[in-house]
């Protein structure tokens, strides 16, 4: 049977229209996902200069938990300093992160050394886990659906690295549907292998906003092996540009 | 000229290699697909506290409020502490034992070291720092195989290690006092790290921090986020310290000297301003490339063994000579790989020669030392570093000793972290391709507690005794140490 040309045109127009609508829908959804992770970034890491103190506790089965504490100096989304405070063997060690470049100052060398971003700080916590919260800068985000967990609805987002240099190849992130607070996340390597999972916990007011002040990182192969990052204090303070130069680290040690 | 061309060609090849490492194609991450989400892996109630259901205030409003400095701090502990004067005291204690390994086993070290440092912040722009080292080595009292001059030199050490004041004004900083100035970041050996003299009484085996000799100096710096300019002035430079004849790592082995050798006392340059060391360094971070250029008007910090023979005696009269050094350091990360290179051109150096027509046994030649290397992670727990090291001697003559026209070394370092970072095995291997000598340094560090660490290892030398490492081929040692941090 031969379909009239006008009908074929109409069908083509409808298909094209649906296609366009689908594209617009995807674009809006992605735009929304981008806005969501920007919001998550702002909750975790306000775009200001601030200092914070952080305690990291590493728990392994049948072992005494290990604790260390650090001072963070954060300038916007791209610059961070992690300064070892305790234990004494960590004192004077400093990490500088500028975008995706990282230096370590070691007192027994008295010199800054360039290191890679994935180097572990303690337990499951990498330098990036502690000092970098820039999901919107590092990843392309897309909404992946919703989950109801313990009676609450969470948006599920899939984040894929914008470049091979960012800390993880991909992230699956759950955020509270209404408030957009982060709830939990899974972090993947470039091959798609899961590296760690985390939950955001202990929501407290810090510098005028309620924020997750505890991040618990789990070894995906051993749920009992976990590292807790506790943000113990945070205060806004202008930090000079020069602090964030590797040659200046010796003056901060 | 041919050598110069070869060196330039070599440098170009090394730089191309570095660039290739930096530009290496890494699969772009978005190519992968995340595995499906699974609720089971999370278990029940992994998060002890559910997130708030009310959205926070708009980001811009929050940020503006914080930046307006009218924020009432929610936590007493979070008040700005940088305005209050503070004094911090810390340090470490270390107990070391070492023994020469091989056919002539003997105790070579039983050393107790206490290192204490104080940091005082008077105002945010004024800070004092001092550190002291107290050291006693019982091996010089419990054994009798070291000559008295060595015992006197190495048995005890009490020193003001560093003592300086830091003053800061905007982007300018002044550090005045006894201090270390560090310009290099290579592994295992010194290259661009040429500002301070070195304590080489234990060769290059101690921590670099303890090898460098802090010197009274002024260090003026201008620092912005991505750029840095530095001027260094050392008015009264000090010189490298070597182990005295008969010490474990003395470069002078009596059995290798000609008969009837007479050493004259070395004459260090007088403490006059004209003998100052001056240097400048300019650094900039460009697209992830951390580049520094430097120039140093300095001295060859090692006494040059000028010598002569009068038919009966062999006279050695060590002297110091000026040296101009300029070069660069550069590093770049690409993914997990960190590539770095250093280059130092030394103008006015002296090298040993056996030319019979030469009157003092040394010949003036320029030379360049350079290194290209990369840190490459081998797994989640294992890091590695590879370096190619070369020295090129310009206007080379076959009579020059201990150096070829182009000398090549290779170093490999493998380091691991296990048991949540408590166990840190490490292996460093440096070998000279030309001399076929090498240094191997296996070592294991174990963190007993947060404060206590134990270390065990060996320093193994092999090869031709004319080589940098082979000269100590009968001085292999094994060691152990206990460290306490406070």
So what's the pLDDT on residue B70?
A: 36
Between CA B99 and CA B96 the distance in angstroms is 10
B450-460 average pLDDT score: 96
Facing A165 at nearest CB: one of B51, B226, B335: B335
Strand B241-242 and strand B337-352: the pairing is unpaired
So what's the pLDDT on residue A126?
A: 79
So what's the pLDDT on residue A133?
A: 76
Q: Is B39 exposed, middle or buried (0-12, 13-18, 19+ CB in 10 A)?
A: exposed
Shortest distance, CA A11 to any CA of chain B (angstroms): 34
Q: Which of A19-28, A193-202, B454-463 has the lowest mean pLDDT?
A: A19-28
Between CA B155 and CA A225 the distance in angstroms is 48
Residue A126 CA, distance from chain mean position = 11
- Average pLDDT taken over every residue of chain A: 85
Place of tokens 């502490």: B81
pLDDT tens string B124-166: 899 999 999 999 999 999 999 999 999 999 999 999 999 999 9
Q: What is the DSSP letter of A114?
A: E
In chain A, the residue whose alpha carbon lies closest to the alpha carbon of B207 is A108
Q: Which of A14-18, A68-72, A174-178, B381-385 has the lowest mean pLDDT?
A: A14-18
Q: Which of A8-12, B56-60, B343-347 has the lowest mean pLDDT?
A: B56-60
Residues with Cβ within 8 Å of A126's Cβ and at least 6 positions away in sequence, in order, are A117, A118, A119, A120, A167
So what's the pLDDT on residue B32?
A: 57
So what's the pLDDT on residue B260?
A: 85
SS3 call for A212: strand
Q: In terms of Cα–Cα distance, which of B163, B304, B166 is closest to B239? A: B304
So what's the pLDDT on residue B44?
A: 54
Radius of gyration (Cα) for chain A, nearest Å? 22
In chain A, the residue whose alpha carbon lies closest to the alpha carbon of B484 is A89
400-419 in B: which are within 8 Å (CB) of A? 417
CB contact under 8 A, A46 and B63: yes
So what's the pLDDT on residue B444?
A: 98
Bridge partners for A219 per DSSP = A222
So what's the pLDDT on residue B31?
A: 52
For the entire predicted model, the pTM comes to 0.81
So what's the pLDDT on residue B79?
A: 42
Q: Which of B23, B34, B118, B180 to mutate: most A Cβ within 10 Å?
A: B34
Facing B59 at nearest CB: one of A42, A87, A207: A42
Between CA B164 and CA B127 the distance in angstroms is 9
Inform me whether the pLDDT recorded for A108 exceeds 90: no
Is B30 in CB contact (< 8 Å) with chain A? yes
pLDDT cut 70: percent of chain A above it: 85
Structure tokens at B39: 């609720």
Facing A161 at nearest CB: one of B29, B80, B331: B29
pLDDT tens string B246-273: 999 998 777 777 788 888 888 899 999 9
186-245 in A: which are within 8 Å (CB) of B? 186, 188, 190-192, 194, 197, 199-203, 205-212, 216, 218, 220, 223, 232-237, 240-242, 244-245
So what's the pLDDT on residue B41?
A: 65
Inform me whether the pLDDT recorded for B30 exceeds 70: no
pLDDT tens string A75-92: 988 899 999 999 998 898
Residue B310 CA, distance from chain mean position = 41
CB contact under 8 A, B333 and A53: no
So what's the pLDDT on residue B80?
A: 44
Between CA B228 and CA A243 the distance in angstroms is 11
Between CA B232 and CA B217 the distance in angstroms is 7
CB contact under 8 A, A237 and B180: no
Phi, psi of B257 (to 5 degrees): -90, 150
Confidence of residue B26 (pLDDT cuts 50, 70, 90): very low
Strand B261-263 and strand B314-316: the pairing is parallel
Facing A183 at nearest CB: one of B47, B224, B453: B47
Place of tokens 């009239």: A4
User: Who has greater pLDDT, B315 or B43?
Assistant: B315
Residue B153 CA, distance from chain mean position = 23
Inform me whether the pLDDT recorded for B415 exceeds 50: yes
**Omega of the bond leading into A87 within 30 degrees of 0 (cis):** yes
Structure tokens at B392: 């090129």
How wide is the angle at C-alpha B144 spanned by C-alphas B141 and B150, nearest 5°? Answer: 75
B459-468 average pLDDT score: 92
Q: What is the DSSP letter of B265?
A: P
- Average pLDDT taken over every residue of chain B: 86
Q: How many Cβ atoms sit within 10 Å of the Cβ of residue A196?
A: 21
Asked whether the CA dihedral A118, B190, B250, B136 is positive or negative, the reply is negative
Confidence of residue B75 (pLDDT cuts 50, 70, 90): very low
The string of DSSP letters for B95-157 reads EEEEEE-STT-EEEEEEEEEEEEEEEEEETTEEEEEEEEEEEETHHHH---S-HHHHHHHSEE
Residues in B touching A114 (Cβ below 8 Å): 185, 290, 331-333, 338, 340, 375
CB contact under 8 A, A181 and B52: yes
Q: What is the DSSP letter of B400?
A: B
Shortest distance, CA B141 to any CA of chain A (angstroms): 29
116-135 in B: which are within 8 Å (CB) of A? 127
How wide is the angle at C-alpha B107 spanned by C-alphas B105 and B108, nearest 5°? Answer: 110
Confidence of residue B69 (pLDDT cuts 50, 70, 90): very low
So what's the pLDDT on residue B262?
A: 87
Shortest distance, CA A139 to any CA of chain B (angstroms): 9
Inform me whether the pLDDT recorded for A19 exceeds 90: no
Facing B185 at nearest CB: one of A43, A112, A211: A112
Strand B199-204 and strand B241-242: the pairing is parallel
Between CA B168 and CA B221 the distance in angstroms is 9
So what's the pLDDT on residue B22?
A: 46
Confidence of residue B67 (pLDDT cuts 50, 70, 90): very low
39-98 in A: which are within 8 Å (CB) of B? 39, 42-43, 46-48, 50-51, 53, 58, 60, 63, 66-68, 79, 86-89, 91-92, 98
Per DSSP (E only), the strands in B287-437 are 289-299, 307-309, 314-316, 322-334, 337-352, 362-377, 382-393, 406-416, 423-432
Question: Is the Cβ–Cβ distance between B133 and B114 less than 8 Å?
Answer: yes
Residues with Cβ within 8 Å of B208's Cβ and at least 6 positions away in sequence, in order, are A108, A109, A110, A111, B190, B193
Inform me whether the pLDDT recorded for B64 exceeds 60: no
- Give buried/exposed letters for B139-155 (b at 16+ CB in 10 A, else e): bbeeeeebeeebbebbb
pLDDT cut 70: percent of chain B above it: 84
Q: Which of A5-19, A137-151, A200-214 has the lowest mean pLDDT?
A: A5-19
pLDDT cut 90: percent of chain B above it: 64
User: Who has greater pLDDT, B80 or A101?
Assistant: A101
Q: How many contiguous H segments (helices) and E segments (strands) does chain B have?
A: 5, 23
So what's the pLDDT on residue B78?
A: 39
Residues with Cβ within 8 Å of A192's Cβ and at least 6 positions away in sequence, in order, are A169, A170, B32, B33, B34, B35
Bridge partners for A186 per DSSP = A172, A197
Between CA B26 and CA B16 the distance in angstroms is 18
Facing A200 at nearest CB: one of B51, B375, B377: B51
B2-31 average pLDDT score: 51
Q: How far apart, in Å, do the first and last CA atoms of chain B sit?
A: 57
């Amino acid at each position: 049977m031969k379909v009239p040309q006008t009908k074929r045109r109409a069908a083509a127009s409808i298909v094209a229209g649906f296609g366009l609508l689908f594209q617009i829908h995807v674009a809006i959804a992605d735009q929304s996902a981008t806005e969501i992770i920007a919001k998550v970034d702002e909750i975790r890491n306000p775009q200001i200069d601030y200092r914070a103190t952080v305690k990291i506790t590493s728990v392994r089965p049948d072992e005494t938990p290990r604790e260390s504490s650090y001072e963070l100096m954060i300038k916007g989304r791209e610059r961070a300093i992690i300064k070892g405070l305790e234990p004494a063997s960590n004192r004077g060690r400093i990490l500088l992160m500028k975008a995706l470049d990282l230096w370590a100052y070691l007192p027994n060398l008295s010199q800054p050394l360039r290191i890679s971003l994935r180097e572990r700080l303690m337990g499951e916590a990498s330098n990036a886990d502690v000092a970098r919260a820039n999901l919107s800068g590092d990843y392309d985000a897309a909404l992946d659906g919703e989950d109801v967990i313990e009676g609450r609805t969470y948006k599920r987002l899939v984040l894929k690295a914008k470049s091979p240099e960012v800390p993880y190849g991909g992230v699956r992130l759950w955020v509270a549907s209404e408030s957009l607070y982060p709830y939990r996340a899974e972090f993947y390597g470039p091959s798609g292998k899961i590296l760690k999972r985390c939950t955001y916990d202990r929501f407290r007011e810090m510098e005028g906003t309620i924020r997750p002040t505890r991040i618990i990182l789990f070894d995906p192969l051993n749920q009992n092996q976990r590292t807790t990052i506790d943000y113990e204090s945070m205060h806004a303070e202008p930090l000079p540009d020069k602090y964030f130069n590797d040659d200046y680290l010796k003056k901060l040690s | 000229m041919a050598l110069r061309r070869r060196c330039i060609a070599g440098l170009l090849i090394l730089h191309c290699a570095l660039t290739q490492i930096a530009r290496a194609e890494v699969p772009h991450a978005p190519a992968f697909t995340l595995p499906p989400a699974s609720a089971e892996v999370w278990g029940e109630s992994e998060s002890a506290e559910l997130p708030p259901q009310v959205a926070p205030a708009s980001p811009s409003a929050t940020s503006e409020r914080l930046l307006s400095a009218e924020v009432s701090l929610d936590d007493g502990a979070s008040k700005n502490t940088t305005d209050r004067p503070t004094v911090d005291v810390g340090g470490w204690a270390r107990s070391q034992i070492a023994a020469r390994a091989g056919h002539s086993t003997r105790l070579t070290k039983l050393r107790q070291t206490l290192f204490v440092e104080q940091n005082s912040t008077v105002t945010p722009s004024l800070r004092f720092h001092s550190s002291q080292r107290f050291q006693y080595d019982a091996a010089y009292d419990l054994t009798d195989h070291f000559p008295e001059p060595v015992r006197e030199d190495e048995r005890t050490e009490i020193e003001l290690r560093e003592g300086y004041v830091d003053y800061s004004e905007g982007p300018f900083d002044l550090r005045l006092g006894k201090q270390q100035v560090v310009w290099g970041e290579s592994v295992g050996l010194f290259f661009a790290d040429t500002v301070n003299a070195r304590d080489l009484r234990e060769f290059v085996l101690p921590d670099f921090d303890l090898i460098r000799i802090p010197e009274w100096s002024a260090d003026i710096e201008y620092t912005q986020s991505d750029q840095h300019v530095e001027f260094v002035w050392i008015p009264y430079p000090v010189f490298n310290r070597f182990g005295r004849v008969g010490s474990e790592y003395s470069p002078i082995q009596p059995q290798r000297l000609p008969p009837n050798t007479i050493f004259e006392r070395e004459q260090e340059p007088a403490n006059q301003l004209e003998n100052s060391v001056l240097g400048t360094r300019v650094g900039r971070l460009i697209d992830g490339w951390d580049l520094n250029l430097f120039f140093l008007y300095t001295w060859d910090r090692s006494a040059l063994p000028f010598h002569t023979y009068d038919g009966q005696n062999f006279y050695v009269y060590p002297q110091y000579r000026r040296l101009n050094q300029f070069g660069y350091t550069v590093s770049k990360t690409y993914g997990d790989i960190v590539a770095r290179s250093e280059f130092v051109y030394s103008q006015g150096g002296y090298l040993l020669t056996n030319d019979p027509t030469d009157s003092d046994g040394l010949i003036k030649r320029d030379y360049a030392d350079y290194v290209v290397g990369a840190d490459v992670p081998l797994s989640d727990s294992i890091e590695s570093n590879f370096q190619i090291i070369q020295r090129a001697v310009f206007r080379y003559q076959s009579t020059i000793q201990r150096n070829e026209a182009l000398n090549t070394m290779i170093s490999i370092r493998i380091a691991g972290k296990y048991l949540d970072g408590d166990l840190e095995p490490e292996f460093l291997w440096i070998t000279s391709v030309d001399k076929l000598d090498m240094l191997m340094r296996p070592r294991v560090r174990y963190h007993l507690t947060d404060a206590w660490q134990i270390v065990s290892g060996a320093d193994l030398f092999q090869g031709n005794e004319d080589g940098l490492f082979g000269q100590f081929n009968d001085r292999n040692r094994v060691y152990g140490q206990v460290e306490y941090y406070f």
